[in-house]
């Protein structure tokens, strides 16, 4: 097999370095270029010292990228920046997997409302596919622009979509209580992720207006064809990586059994190698460093609520790993290629 030549644009952040870590061991690709505008000319391992002697490639500006030699581009850039490169490469002969939020929503108007900025490339929405392989495999195979989902939405959608699809739960309200490690806030230093702020601390943030709320809600509506209302509250944990989501749902009927839930998940995810159905509530450390999503579901007869708990690594299944899974799917490769990591525990 001739290896595909891959470029990573914006590799100085957490998701960019995670892409390099995964792709370095992928048997079907070579990392042809890694770009950075702010650190151009420096070795990648100088920016991320844990790559010393492993990936020492020089970072280059995007202007120096020879796109004629590239088979696929990952954009590991902040929202508001990715859209410029998607527009710049719209006529290029390679697919793009965008890890920002620039093309995840349904329209430029919705983006403007939730991201508080005008979208500069609105026609990109028409050609993008939302990149959860377990939900939209065919669209991912066919699209030249794949919008990699957000980390919180990934953890919620994978837990809720099978039940909503089967008609087992009411579409409103869907209450998602989610906790994430500090890397979800990005690599740039700011008061919210200073050690003195995060250590021995635990807090909620982004109530009522977090942009992942609308991403979750739109995708559940699109997937099920039903109007959905999502109440999403994120929390910041004093850990480096991982997301644990506890989701409260109302069943359509009170005769629901745990066996019914398990049967729905087993059937829905019968061809999903990264979904693990658990007999007990999962923990974030059980998926650390991997592309797995662990799911547990149970019905509480006393309260009449259904409880779903999911665990993912926010940098892998919530970002870089899912992006590589999307690449595998797009090229009609085994979805697990390059993603066979065993969880790092303890």
Q: Which residues pair with 310 in a beta bridge?
A: 245, 295
Which are the catalytic amino acids?
151
* Residue whose structure tokens are 């892998």: 316
pTM: 0.96
Measured distance CA(267)–CA(10) in Å, rounded: 38
Measured distance CA(187)–CA(193) in Å, rounded: 9
| pLDDT above 80 (res 1) | no
* Residue whose structure tokens are 């919620």: 156
pLDDT in tens, 199-242: 889 999 999 999 999 999 999 999 999 999 999 999 999 999 99
Mean pLDDT of 145-159: 99
- Sheet containing 174-180: give its strands across: 203-204, 230-236, 174-180, 243-249, 305-312, 293-300, 275-277
Q: Which residues pair with 306 in a beta bridge?
A: 249, 299
Question: What's the pLDDT at 322?
Answer: 99
Q: Which domains does the chain have, with CATH numbers?
A: 4-149+318-330 (3.40.50.720), 152-314 (3.30.360.10)
Measured distance CA(4)–CA(118) in Å, rounded: 35
- 16 sits in which H/E element: helix 14-23
- Strands, E, within the chain: which ranges? 4-9, 29-35, 72-75, 96-98, 128-130, 145-147, 174-180, 203-204, 230-236, 243-249, 275-277, 293-300, 305-312
Measured distance CA(155)–CA(137) in Å, rounded: 17
| pLDDT above 80 (res 252) | yes
3 state DSSP class of 64: helix
Mean pLDDT of 101-113: 98
pLDDT in tens, 11-45: 899 999 999 999 999 999 999 999 999 999 999 99
- Strands, E, within 113-173: which ranges? 128-130, 145-147
Question: What's the pLDDT at 193?
Answer: 78
pLDDT in tens, 294-320: 999 999 999 999 999 999 999 999 999
- Mean pLDDT (the chain, rounded): 96
| pLDDT above 90 (res 197) | no
| pLDDT class of 195 with cuts at 50, 70, 90 | confident
Complete DSSP assignment for 209-241: T-HHHHHHHHHHHHHHSS---EEEEEEE-SSSS
Q: How many other CB atoms are there within 10 angstroms of residue 346's CB atom?
A: 4
Q: What percentage of the chain exceeds 70 in pLDDT?
A: 100
DSSP code for 176: E
Q: What percentage of the chain exceeds 90 in pLDDT?
A: 92
Q: Quick one: angle between helices 14-23 and 321-330, nearest 10?
A: 50
């Amino acid at each position: 097999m001739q290896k595909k030549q891959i470029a990573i644009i914006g590799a100085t952040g957490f998701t960019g370095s995670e892409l390099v870590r995964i792709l370095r061991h992928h048997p079907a690709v070579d990392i042809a270029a890694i770009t950075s505008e702010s650190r151009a000319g420096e070795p990648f391992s100088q920016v991320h010292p844990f790559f010393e002697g492993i990936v020492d490639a020089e970072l280059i500006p995007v202007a120096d990228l020879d796109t004629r030699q590239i088979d696929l581009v990952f954009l590991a850039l902040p929202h508001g920046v990715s859209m410029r490169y998607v527009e710049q490469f719209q006529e290029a002969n390679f697919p793009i997997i965008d890890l920002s939020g620039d093309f995840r929503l349904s329209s430029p108007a919705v983006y403007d409302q939730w991201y508080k900025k005008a979208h500069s490339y609105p026609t990109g929405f028409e050609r993008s596919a939302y990149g959860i392989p377990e939900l939209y495999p065919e669209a991912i195979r066919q699209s030249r622009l794949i919008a990699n989902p957000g980390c919180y939405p990934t953890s919620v959608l994978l837990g809720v979509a099978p039940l909503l699809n089967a008609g087992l739960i009411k579409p409103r309200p869907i209450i998602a209580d989610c906790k994430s490690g500090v890397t979800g806030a990005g690599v740039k230093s700011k008061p919210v992720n200073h050690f003195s702020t995060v250590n021995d601390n635990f807090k909620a943030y982004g109530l009522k207006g977090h942009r992942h709320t609308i991403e979750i809600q739109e995708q559940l509506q699109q997937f099920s064809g039903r109007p959905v209302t999502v109440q999403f509250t994120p929390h910041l944990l004093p850990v480096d990586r991982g997301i644990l989501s506890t989701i409260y749902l109302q069943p359509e009927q009170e005769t629901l059994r745990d066996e019914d839930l398990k049967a729905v998940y087993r059937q829905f995810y019968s061809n999903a190698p990264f979904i693990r159905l658990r007999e007990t509530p999962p923990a974030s450390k059980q998926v650390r460093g991997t592309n797995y999503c662990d799911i547990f579901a149970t019905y509480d007869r006393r309260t009449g609520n259904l409880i779903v708990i999911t665990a993912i690594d926010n940098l892998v299944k919530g970002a870089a790993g899912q992006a590589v899974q999307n690449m595998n799917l797009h090229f009609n490769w085994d979805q697990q290629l390059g993603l066979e990591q065993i969880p790092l525990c303890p």
